[in-house]
Structure 1
Amino acid sequence: MFLFMKFPPSFSSLSPSSLFRFIVLFIITVLIVCEKTRAVVKLPPNVSVPAVLVFGDSIMDTGNNNNNLATTARCNYPPYGKDFKGGIPTGRFSNGKVPSDLIVEELGIKEFLPPYVDSKLEPGELATGVCFASGGAGYDPFTAQSSFTISLSGQLGLFREYIGKLKAAVGEERTKFILKNTLYIVVLGSNDISNTYFLTRVRQLQYPNFSAYADFMLSSASTFFKEIYGEGARRIAVFNVPPLGYLPSQRTIGGGIRRDVVVKINDAVQIFNTKLSKQLESLNHDLPDSRMVYVDVYNPLLDIIVNYQKYGYKVGDRGCCGTGTIEVVLLCNRFTPLCSNDLEYVFWDSFHPTESVYKKLISPVIGKYLNKFL
């Protein structure tokens, strides 16, 4: 780290008061720079990650559903965002930042990843990345259709629109460089498994065997990966599905009177994750210069949930909002009582972890997988 300050030609020429002011200014500058670079990972020489582009669901959504009045998958109201900068509810499904923000922060790109579907989006944000994720989306087209949110094909359409705007802003050559070196994040599958397959059971009629449904999800996912590869994407991080059977809402709905872990949902998640890992290996073999990386968040999150006390939490089976057993989105609102300290909770609502948990997850994940893209 280098600090560039204009030093006086001779310290001896300064009066005591001027020298004191200079020293204070220097110390403040050092502290500010250190704070801003505190969590930034160091890239190898001659390696660049100019932007981050995110596709996904509510885990990653930074506000793309805010103006979509047709869906209930919105959270641009208190108490969501209570720990966000300024205490503002931005449409992030958390008390604060979500992984999209933490990833760009860790990479030293910017503090927050803005939602692409935002009328206030500054053109200058395009070159460093945006978020296309939409709460309620999935690999299965029906998942987004049933929640009236932005489907995976819809997010692909927004990405193509983004490319056109990027070309207009920075030119053809710079756009090619950005697209090739950008880190693409894909986080989907949770809503397909928890809602479309097990809750509404719509797909169970067509796919009585979950393994067959997982293959259907993978077919849709593979088509998407090939599409963004065709648009220039090369560094693609695909997060696996987290341990859904441990989520407070799933335990309430399917865990009986004792709210036990829902084993059948966790088994389904593991079936899908195994297939996803193998599919990405196959795609890397077939698509030249592709670096599609399977990112395991299942096991790190499971460890935090099961061994929550080891990580400094007091509650691992309920969310901070309301009873913590079922409240999410509309049921978690300004009239809902909150826990006294969300830093003691693994979950913010009945489906989404707290910002504190995301911070414990993302930094190690970046450290573990970043070199696989470079």
Structure 2
Amino acid sequence: MVFIKAVGAAALMMTMSMAILLGSTLAVAMPTSPAIGIVNIGRIRKLVAKYNLSSILVFGDSSADPGNNNHLATTFKGNFPPYGKDFFGGRPTGRFSNGRLPTDFVAEALGYAAVVPAFLDPNVKTESLSRAVSFASAASGYDDLTANLTNVLPVWKQLEYLKHYIIRMRRLMNGETKEMIKNAVFVLSMGANDFLQNYFVEPNRPKQFTVQQYEDYLVGCLIRDVKEMHRIGARRLVVVGVPPLGCMPLVKTAMNSAVCVDKYNIPALSLNIKIKNSLATLAGELGLTAVFADAYGAIVDAVNNPKKYGFVETSKGCCGTGTYEYGDTCKGQSTCKDPSKYVFWDAVHPTEKMYEIIAADLLNTVLTQILA
């Protein structure tokens, strides 16, 4: 049995120009999550066999991108040191962390692979994609405009690549491909960039929507994408909720705040509630097993109670000063001595240890709901 502390989903990319738009904090209480999650790997693998779980297909942003952005004409990349410092061989892969992502740990626990390959990696053989693959693109979001602002893959394009993937699998598996897609678990992890790269920075969406209206718009985009996944063949789906945006070191720095910034946590929490409710409705309409993996309360609990999880530093990242560096500004920077004591690797993204903790929540979601 493997014991992993259960914390929610990953923090995501944002732009530095948001600093001038940040307002004051609001004094509201934040929820907390269960302290410890226990992942029984043996039981998971038995359920994988019993329910014929075929593969894990990943969509999203930097919380799930293992290197697809390396092959795009975008500046939102993490394929240089110190990223990958603690990855196998100490090499940067495009993952925005010092090591692996939550979906890597999930794939390993399911018995598929130690890492989830990027679909756009030209060096990956088709056989290596059959049990786990990621179409995720750092800096993407539910809103197509979010991806367009940074020239990365919107969800519709990620789903286009899924169709290309299915064609490749047909050549490999012949008539078994349809069943393989039906028995796969689809994981979708995004949403933070829609606020932190788009709504709170760019002028277009605030002119069109209030914050609450934009949340509804994002839910509409999610519903559209889930219906397209279902049309393609998805029958099992995990949607990872938006993390507490105001707890990122970059936001705290921009706000000159020592605590999480409620102005940015409140929309994330509200959007999560709407997503969870919409998934329940969709599940009934489509005959889809669709579950929500909480991110919000769990990360807040880790930030507010670091000793429970073995962390020491929650307000700064490990890269550089830990206050503003991420992406290009993290390139070539010195790092802290022990990343395992840090919640965040850079000013936006978690460390590998935090990602491993996050994976427990995903695994328990798969164990208790998708495969039950």
TM class by smaller structure: 0.7 to 0.9
Q: How far has the Cα of 1:370 moved from its partner?
A: 2.3
- 1:165 matched to 2:168? The reply is yes
- 1:242 matched to 2:243? The reply is yes
Equivalent in the alignment of 1:63: 67
Match among 340, 347, 350 for residue 350 of structure 1: 347
Contact 1:64 1:118 in 2 (8 A): yes
Contact 2:293 2:361 in 1 (8 A): no
- 1:360 matched to 2:357? The reply is yes
Contact 1:319 1:348 in 2 (8 A): yes
Equivalent in the alignment of 2:265: 266
**Per-residue displacement from partner, 1:307-337 (whole Å, max 9, x unpaired)?**
1122111100110001111100000012x12
How many correspondences in the alignment?
332
Percent of residue pairs identical? 36
Relative contact order, CA 8 A, sep 6+: which one is greater? 2
Contact 2:291 2:365 in 1 (8 A): no
Match among 50, 54, 60 for residue 58 of structure 2: 54
Secondary structure of 2:238's aligned partner: strand
- 1:291 matched to 2:289? The reply is yes
- 1:303 matched to 2:306? The reply is no
Secondary structure of 1:321's aligned partner: coil
Q: Which amino acid aligns with 2:325?
A: E
Q: Which amino acid aligns with 2:93?
A: T
Equivalent in the alignment of 1:87: 90
Contact 1:313 1:346 in 2 (8 A): yes
Q: How far has the Cα of 1:338 moved from its partner?
A: 1.1
Q: How far has the Cα of 1:361 moved from its partner?
A: 2.1
Contact 2:326 2:346 in 1 (8 A): yes
Larger deviation: 121-130 or 313-322?
Answer: 121-130
Q: How far has the Cα of 1:160 moved from its partner?
A: 0.8
Q: How far has the Cα of 1:129 moved from its partner?
A: 2.1
**Per-residue displacement from partner, 1:70-90 (whole Å, max 9, x unpaired)?**
311101010000100000100
Q: Which amino acid aligns with 1:284?
A: A
Contact 1:313 1:343 in 2 (8 A): yes
Q: How far has the Cα of 1:205 moved from its partner?
A: 1.4
Match among 127, 135, 143 for residue 140 of structure 1: 143
Q: How far has the Cα of 1:239 moved from its partner?
A: 0.5
Q: How far has the Cα of 1:352 moved from its partner?
A: 0.5
- 1:125 matched to 2:128? The reply is yes
Secondary structure of 2:200's aligned partner: helix
Structure 1 pair 297–369 and aligned structure 2 pair: CA distance change class (3 A): farther
Matches within 5 A, 1:1-374: 39=41, 41-44=44-47, 46-68=50-72, 70-172=73-175, 174-207=176-209, 209-253=210-254, 255-256=255-256, 258-288=257-287, 290-334=288-332, 336-374=333-371
Structure 1 pair 268–314 and aligned structure 2 pair: CA distance change class (3 A): same
Q: Which amino acid aligns with 1:75?
A: G
What CA distance in whole angstroms lies between the structure 2 residues aligned with 1:80 and 1:141? Answer: 27
Secondary structure of 1:130's aligned partner: strand
Contact 1:50 1:109 in 2 (8 A): no
Q: Which amino acid aligns with 1:90?
A: T
Query: Which residues of structure 2 form unaligned runs of 5+?
Result: 1-38
Contact 2:61 2:140 in 1 (8 A): yes
Larger deviation: 360-369 or 181-190?
Answer: 360-369
Equivalent in the alignment of 1:17: none
Larger deviation: 128-137 or 190-199?
Answer: 190-199
TM-score, normalised to structure 1, is 0.85
Secondary structure of 2:161's aligned partner: helix
Q: How far has the Cα of 1:232 moved from its partner?
A: 0.8
What CA distance in whole angstroms lies between the structure 2 residues aligned with 1:85 and 1:105? Answer: 14
Secondary structure of 1:316's aligned partner: strand
Contact 1:295 1:369 in 2 (8 A): no
Secondary structure of 2:68's aligned partner: coil
Q: How far has the Cα of 1:42 moved from its partner?
A: 3.2
Q: How far has the Cα of 1:272 moved from its partner?
A: 0.6
Q: How far has the Cα of 1:39 moved from its partner?
A: 4.5
Secondary structure of 2:53's aligned partner: coil
What CA distance in whole angstroms lies between the structure 1 residues aligned with 2:284 and 2:41? Answer: 34
